[in-house]
Amino acid sequence: MEEAKTQKKEHGKAYKIANIILDVLFVAFAVFAITAIIFRSTTSNNKNGRSINGTQLRTVQTGSMAENNHIDPETYKTYEIKTLPINTLISIKEVKEKNEEKFYNDLKVGDVLTFVYYTDINNVKGQYVFTHRLIEKEVSSINGGYRLVLMGDAEKPSGGVQVIYTNPLTAEQSYSYVIGKVTWSNHPIGEVVSFVKSRNGILFLVVLPCSLLFIYEIGKIIYLINKDKKAKKQLKMAETETQLNSSQAEIEALKAQLAALQNKEEQGKADIDGHNEEKIGEKEE
């Protein structure tokens, strides 16, 4: 009996510990999922992007900045933003109308810009988003403002460049414009964000956790139902045992009463027999 109680106590303790561990894991997973989903919801790679207080978050989609193929290595070391492999998360300080003049004045060769560029890709003419390094900056002699020349680090020295005029003269020139300057980058976080944005990410962060949580809660409900049934069964058995003990006590009491009555009856018979013997003795005398 004592051994059974000990086992039950250890089982209950193990169950509580398992519950605590599972709860911690679910909370940690939920925090991770919520953080990743926030990054996902605030990250957009279309030309408009999603602005948060003048800052955009984007992920690098191509390998045009994944390595350095045309910049002097010693000069490259001095740049704040270096290689940007595919899926790198980048933070972009937007150029706004109110700070446009200061923004362009402060730009220097080596800065990395995210911009919309009107060009032809796969025979489709349109506006595409690029993140490339500024390799030339000069005041435009034609229309004032600046003439910005940009190029991806991974391009060969003879590779193509993109040219943007901050004061465009033609409609086509106005289709190309700077979104902002890259001020921060992180590749591991970008990989997580890119994964979250994928179909597998949604499956891993939404469908799978919800399924596991559902199964866990169902299992917990079944366990509690079985525990409740077991407790009720034990209570019923205890009540039955109490009733049996009470009935046994009543039976024993009745037996005692019956024995007392039998003793009393036998004693009465003995007294009558003794009295009769006395009478017979008196007659014989």
The CATH number of whichever domain residue 162 belongs to comes to 2.10.109.10
Domain hosting residue 107, numbered range: 51-197
What pLDDT digit, counting tens, does each position of 38-87 carry?
A: 666 666 677 777 888 899 999 999 999 999 999 999 999 999 999 999 99
Number of H helices and E strands in the chain, helices first, is 7, 8
Q: Is residue 263 part of a domain?
A: no
- Count CB-CB contacts under 10 A for residue 285: 4
Q: Is residue 87 part of a domain?
A: yes
- Count CB-CB contacts under 10 A for residue 58: 25
What is the structure's pLDDT at 162? 96
Task: Retrieve residue 220's tokens.
Answer: 């917990």
Residues of the chain with pLDDT under 50: none
Q: Is residue 171 part of a domain?
A: yes
Q: Is residue 234 part of a domain?
A: no
DSSP single-letter state for residue 43:
B
Q: Is residue 80 part of a domain?
A: yes
Q: Is residue 101 part of a domain?
A: yes
Q: Give me the helices (H) in 146-207, please.
A: 171-174, 187-197, 199-202
Whether the predicted model's global pTM rises above the 0.85 cut? no
Q: Is residue 61 part of a domain?
A: yes
Q: Is residue 128 part of a domain?
A: yes
Counting the structural domains of the chain, the total is 1
Contact 182, 95 (CB under 8 A): no
